[in-house]
Amino acid sequence: MNAYAGVFWLGVTVFAYWLSLNVRKRWVSPITTPIVLSTFGVIAALLATRQDVGQYAPAKEIITTFLGPAVVAFAIPLFKNRAALAKNALPVLAGLVAGSLSTMLVAALIARACGFGDVLSRSIAVKSATTPIATRSPRSFTAIPR
């Protein structure tokens, strides 16, 4: 595999995301969600170049490396707004539960539609709700000095 494959496919991903943001500005719809459109864009690029998904693995690793810290960074505004969060705990929890369950259900249904087995479908469902947390091992986080 070429050493530059990760950088190339990362560029394709960023371009697809940028393009999907511009599409979203013109046509607002659940179908034009940037994550959905950019995913289809990357898949189309893989198909057009006749590459298998393994060629995309280095780019996925780069993206995954930054996903964990990005999620952790969300803790700062959450901490600063903890009073408002506590005041609205019930709607927040309801939204979290509804979002997590719907994400898991859709992932499981897509896995089933693709012909995956029961165990793999369940695994994909759980992974879909925990990707930002599951992408980093506990050993990769270092303590922040006080």
- Of all residues in the chain, the percent with pLDDT exceeding 90 is 22
Highest mean pLDDT: which range of 15-19, 29-33, 101-105, 133-137: 15-19
pLDDT for res 3: 61
Helices (H), 28-74: 34-48, 57-73
Indicate whether 51 pLDDT > 70: yes
pLDDT tens digits along 86-137? 999 999 889 888 888 888 898 889 888 888 888 888 888 887 776 544 444 4
**Sequence-ordered list of residues with C-beta below 8 angstroms from that of 128, at least 6 positions apart, any chain:** 103, 104, 106, 107
pLDDT of the residue at 134 = 42
pTM listed for this prediction: 0.58
Tokens of 43: 């898949």
Contact 52, 46 (CB under 8 A): yes
